[in-house]
Amino acid sequence: MTNAISEITTDAELLFLIGTNTTEAHPVTGYKMRQAARRGCKLVVCDPRHIDLVDEADYWLRQKPGTDIPLINGLMHIIIKEGLEDKKFIEERTENYEALKATVENYPPEYVAELTGIPVDVLYEVARLYATTDRAMIFYTLGITEHICGTRNVMSLANLAMLTGHMGRAGVGVCPIRGQNNVQGACDMGALPNVYQGYQNVTLPAVKEKFEKAWGRPMPDKIGLKIPEMFEAAHEGKVKAMYILGENPVLTDPNSHHIRGGLEALEFLVVQELFLTETAEYADVILPAASFAECDGTFSNTERRVQRVRKAIEPIPGRANWQTICEMVSRMGYPMNYASPREIWDEMASLAPSMAGINYDRLEELGSLQWPCPTTDHPGTQFMHVGKFTRGLGLFQPSDHIPPGEMPDEDYPFLLSTGRILQHYNVTTPYSMGIMSVWDKEMAELNPADAEKMGIKTGDKLKVTSRRGEVVTAVRVTDRVMPGIIWMSFHYSETPTNALTSHHLDPITGTGEYKVCAVKLEKI
Amino acid sequence: MELIKITIDGKEVEVPAGTTIMKAADSVGINIPRLCYDPDLSALGACRLCVVEVEGNRLLPASCVTPIFPGMVVKTNSPAVVEARKTILELLVANHPLDCMTCDKLGNCKLADYCYQYGVKESPFVGEKHEYAIDDTNPFILRDMNKCILCGACVRACEEMTGQDNLSYLNRGFHRKATTAGDVDYIDSDCVFCGQCVAVCPTGALQEKTMVGQGRRWEIDRVRTTCPFCGTGCNFDLAVKNGKVIGVLSNPDSTVNQRSLCVKGRFGWDFIYNEKRLTTPLIKKNGKFEEASWDEAFDLIAQRFGEIKAQYGSESFAALSSARCTNEENYLVQKFTRAVMGNNNVDHCART
């Protein structure tokens, strides 16, 4: 996030939510949005589903799935036509504005209304509201990124914020609410194929040299494989061995039959896990993992805030995860002799300028610190891009409409969209006895009009089939979803929704198009 | 802002206009007893325990909702005030089960603490007592409305912290009850089981069900940590007794969330004790997993990763790190992939 969660209640005058069901997927952030809306902060919700926050919203833009770019372009079209853009910000802080202007010229309100399903007058009102509100924050999550055009969706939101000067202050910005507890941290730590910790590019000679010196081994300078490419390479026989820590791609990655095939093709697989998961079943060796309650360390939240994780009980398998990894690697002839996670952090931070000022003593004293935090006397950074962007000038990256990779047709007439429900967190909470005692099975959402045509009532069962697989699910009949759409979560191993999801990926990030694919439904 | 001088218990205090007597007293370390007041919720003035004497006022105003005025002279502990507080406590206790010896909230019960402070053992007021059925129908929250003192903290937390508006007041007088619409059990209501009501409840009316019978409050160690579920980054305390986690308790010092949590963070932690937890390394032999020692597992991994790298080259290895694991663990995995396996094939589920 460019900005901080606290600004929702302390600074924002408008919250623009798109593709985020915040009260369910990030509940405590969602509570704050609700509090803000109730104290008078304007709330715009863009979502095809009637999520809870719609009930608090000033405007609900119930757009058709996969129409984010035309919607945002349409808003920018109106803003420019009405002269509501921030000319000073554009002039001083950005480049490529003319190209943006040329692209959005092609998205007049009438055309956008047709593509998105949002009435023209609502487009005008929301465009004016966003442009003329001084402190307006944009929030998005996977409803924006889990599309074939996910990166382009994000760029479009950045265009909108820059066009109106909503950057580099409190109460503005573009705020992706990150999914997992430490997805921000895993990225920050360089668990990515193109960067070391602190986003230092693996292809830069000076960076390579720095890490060769620090780690005492030659460093590879070719960008590595992204997850989908890893499984593709496994299918092709190029990747022969894998180590998987605390992930269950068989349930969580799109098009799971393809993942299973990749894992099957491996010669050797090591999985470090809490449970014998669907992915661990394919392992040759399973290392038992310790849970968050059993390890010291840190997580970094969605607002770049580094916070302590503290060991409350002894590791149930006898070893904390860092100890297991260190021993495994040491046996391979590369000694990892850390006395504690604190020492690991210190080494990491000493090689990452943006986090060099964060250490366990300061975290103990202050509770948390937000990077960038380059020195130990730096207070951390609540909001970013003050005065200038990381790259200097903000680059407008105009995009045209990119329809989803697979849309309903005669054979597969329903659109499947997926997401999280309040009571579950991905594929971990199904191991919570308390939670499973109440919310124990998938309840796919289906519009009453469709349900009536098919003779389906809440509690009935459906077979859902896509071109890639089939699952069985119970149904909840509700107008939370539009006609023609079925919505499912992916939490339950008995209904592995990702057997259905699309094989289409965002070409830049490799993120799967979980939000749109075509399915057919049969009552059983 | 205009500063106003007042006197509290003989002490001169200067605070901004509009400050309540209670906050003015707090600012100089004078602690006025309070049951319904909660710093994170709107002030209600319902319990009256925070009454004080104000010179020139023949009534005893509730300090949590009474703003100061210039020259105000306040006594927080005069005989009249103490007498009033004792009577309030006696009235509360008149209709409260005095089963404190087995109540899990003892040690964190404000009602018990104030009764102790004011020497209230039993009530001279004898009358009808509530006999509400205990709401035990959900796995997370034990709700005993017989112990409710109608401070309204749960109602306010549900509305002001979570915004769920699931609780309100029913009936009048003796029959007044803080409850759900239609007075149904939590599980049959719109409750989202965030547990904010439990976090603010000053008595044993609302309790974490997993903690019942697991230990007295003073025996519990609290270990502050960060939630392992979504990216909001809530902090809370793990309640630990005898080396075992028995619950999650809100920690008001939490930067992001203060005392708010969701059903997953507050009640989903029990996955750590799922009987399916793996406790020992497993090695697949002839298609079946067999238990192995750590040494066997580590040696086999070192051997096979080494062989595969030697036979097929560096590019034949890939690592999936984890957005659920710590920064330190992720750092080690990418360092291992790059420094030992010799490629950049390391990724995690940020993109999937």
The per-residue pLDDT for range A108-167, each reduced to its tens digit, is 999 999 999 999 999 999 999 999 999 999 999 999 999 999 999 999 999 999 999 999
DSSP letter at A518 equals E
Which residues in chain A touch residue B257, judged by CB atoms under 8 angstroms apart? 28
Residue B350: per-residue pLDDT: 77
Residue B352: per-residue pLDDT: 63
Of B278, B294, B335, the CB nearest to A215: B335
The Cα of A81 is separated from the nearest Cα of chain B by a number of Å equal to: 36
Whether B85 shows a pLDDT value over 70: the answer reads: yes
Contact yes or no for B326 and A185 at CB 8 A: yes
For A311, name the nearest residue in chain B, comparing CA atoms only.
Answer: B223
The per-residue pLDDT for range B282-291, each reduced to its tens digit, is 999 999 999 9
**What domains appear along chain B, each with residue ranges and CATH number?**
3-77 (3.10.20.740), 127-273 (3.30.70.20), 278-307 (no CATH), 313-352 (no CATH)
User: Where residue A256 falls among pLDDT bands split at 50, 70, 90?
Assistant: confident
Mean pLDDT over A42-68 rounds to 97
Cα separation, B186 vs B199, whole angstroms: 16
The per-residue pLDDT for range B126-176, each reduced to its tens digit, is 888 999 999 999 999 999 999 999 999 999 999 999 999 999 999 999 999
Whether B56 shows a pLDDT value over 90: the answer reads: yes
Mean pLDDT over A286-297 rounds to 97
The per-residue pLDDT for range A205-225, each reduced to its tens digit, is 999 999 999 999 999 999 999
With contact defined as beta carbons under 8 Å apart, do A287 and A352 qualify? Answer: no
Residue appearing with tokens 């605070």: B15
> DSSP letters along A332-381, please?
TT-----SSHHHHHHHHHHT-GGGTT--HHHHHHHSEEESP--STT----
The Cα of B270 is separated from the nearest Cα of chain A by a number of Å equal to: 5
The Cα of B114 is separated from the nearest Cα of chain A by a number of Å equal to: 32
For A270, name the nearest residue in chain B, comparing CA atoms only.
Answer: B301
The per-residue pLDDT for range B30-55, each reduced to its tens digit, is 999 999 999 999 999 999 999 999 99
Phi/psi of residue A512, nearest 5 degrees: -75, 155
Which residues in chain B touch residue A284, judged by CB atoms under 8 angstroms apart? 283-284, 300, 304
Of A312, A317, A334, the CB nearest to B223: A312
Which residues in chain A touch residue B335, judged by CB atoms under 8 angstroms apart? 215
Whether B219 shows a pLDDT value over 90: the answer reads: yes
The Cα of B338 is separated from the nearest Cα of chain A by a number of Å equal to: 6
Contact yes or no for A181 and B227 at CB 8 A: yes
With contact defined as beta carbons under 8 Å apart, do A230 and B347 qualify? Answer: yes
Whether B351 shows a pLDDT value over 80: the answer reads: no
Contact yes or no for A243 and B333 at CB 8 A: yes
Q: For residue A6, how many C-alpha atoms fall within 13 Å in the half-sphere facing its CB?
A: 11
Residue B349: per-residue pLDDT: 85
Cα separation, A227 vs B343, whole angstroms: 14
Record the tokens describing residue A392, joined without a space.
């200097």
Contact yes or no for B320 and A182 at CB 8 A: no
Helix (H, G, I), strand (E, B) or coil at A94: strand
- Closest residue by Cα to residue B241 from B60, B131, B104, B61: B104
Choose the mutation target among A432, A493, A513, A515 for the interface with B, i.e. most B CBs under 10 Å: A432
B83: enclosing H helix or E strand: helix B79-94
Which residues in chain B touch residue A432, judged by CB atoms under 8 angstroms apart? 264, 267-271, 274
- Closest residue by Cα to residue A297 from A246, A259, A249, A253: A246
Residue A155: per-residue pLDDT: 97
Report percent pLDDT > 70 for chain B: 100
For A312, name the nearest residue in chain B, comparing CA atoms only.
Answer: B223
**What domains appear along chain A, each with residue ranges and CATH number?**
7-177 (3.40.228.10), 179-223+290-375 (3.40.50.740), 225-286 (no CATH), 414-523 (2.40.40.20)
Report percent pLDDT > 90 for chain B: 97
- Closest residue by Cα to residue A130 from A84, A171, A68, A93: A84
> DSSP letters along A126-150, please?
HHHHHHH-SSEEEEE-HHHHSSTTH
Contact yes or no for B340 and A332 at CB 8 A: yes
Record the tokens describing residue B329, joined without a space.
């663990």
Contact yes or no for A424 and B304 at CB 8 A: no
For A247, name the nearest residue in chain B, comparing CA atoms only.
Answer: B322
Mean pLDDT over A47-59 rounds to 97
ipTM: 0.95
Cα separation, B93 vs B110, whole angstroms: 12
Contact yes or no for A227 and B352 at CB 8 A: yes
Residue B126: per-residue pLDDT: 86
Contact yes or no for A299 and B226 at CB 8 A: yes
